[in-house]
Homo-oligomer: A and B are copies of this chain.
Amino acid sequence: MPRPRQFDEQRVLSAVQATFWDNGYAGTSLDDLLSATGLGKGSLYGAFGDKQRLFLRVLREYDEANDRMLRTWLEDADRGIEVIRSFVTAPVRDPSGEQARRGCLLANTAMELSTNAAEVAAEARRSYTATTAVLADAVRRAQLEGDLAPHADPDEIARAVLAGQLGLIVLGRIGQDPAVLSAVADTLLDGLLPAT
């Protein structure tokens, strides 16, 4: 019979996620993970597999939490267009720019890794497809609500909005002035959301 785990799984995974997010995948050593979690190698790898398994696990949980959050935004929003606006401005909402400099675990590590990491690239495609689907639903709702031109293609708009948001994440990551980022977000939204 396996011994019961002596640690709180969610606490350990949160610490692992924060470590990968701050240091990148290649920049995170086993020692970093052990010191962040307070576990020994045997306990950590025994419970979750090696560094790559552990990374994919926290990346998937991060992506799924983001997907759920976006879906909930859409369910709770008064109007569909608010969800699209919130999605684009999300990376630039912290006036200190600190959150923007941290970027996004998915985008950061996709840029770092995907040439040589088929599983990360596949996970990123899956996650961005899910995001695009929610954004396209928001576009359809905004069209029904009269806030967006009815002739615009929801999937095309959703993909361009995602691209714009990812570009903002890159610019936030390099410490671009948050006020400039906000202005860029507004220009993207004005250009990509054709009014009725």
Contacts and interface: CB of A to CB of B under 8 A. Distances in A.
Interface residues of A, number: 50
A24 B188 contact: no
A159 interface: yes
A168 B113 CA distance: 16
A159 B24 CA distance: 27
Contact of A168 (B163, B173, B194): B163
A173 B111 contact: yes
Contact of A170 (B122, B166, B175): B166
Which of A22, A164, A175 is packed against the most chain B CB atoms within 10 Å?
A164
A51 to B, nearest CB: 13
A176 B115 contact: no
A165 B164 CA distance: 8
Given A26-B24, A170-B111, A191-B194, A125 B176 contact: yes
B26 A174 contact: no
Contacts of A101: 114-115, 121
Given A23-B116, A191-B194, 15 more contacts: A27-B116, A101-B114, A103-B111, A103-B115, A108-B111, A112-B112, A121-B173, A128-B174, A157-B187, A159-B180, A163-B184, A167-B167, A167-B168, A169-B170, A191-B191
Interface of A: 22-27, 101-103, 107-108, 110-116, 120-122, 124-125, 128, 156-157, 159-160, 162-171, 173-176, 180, 183-184, 187-188, 191-192, 194
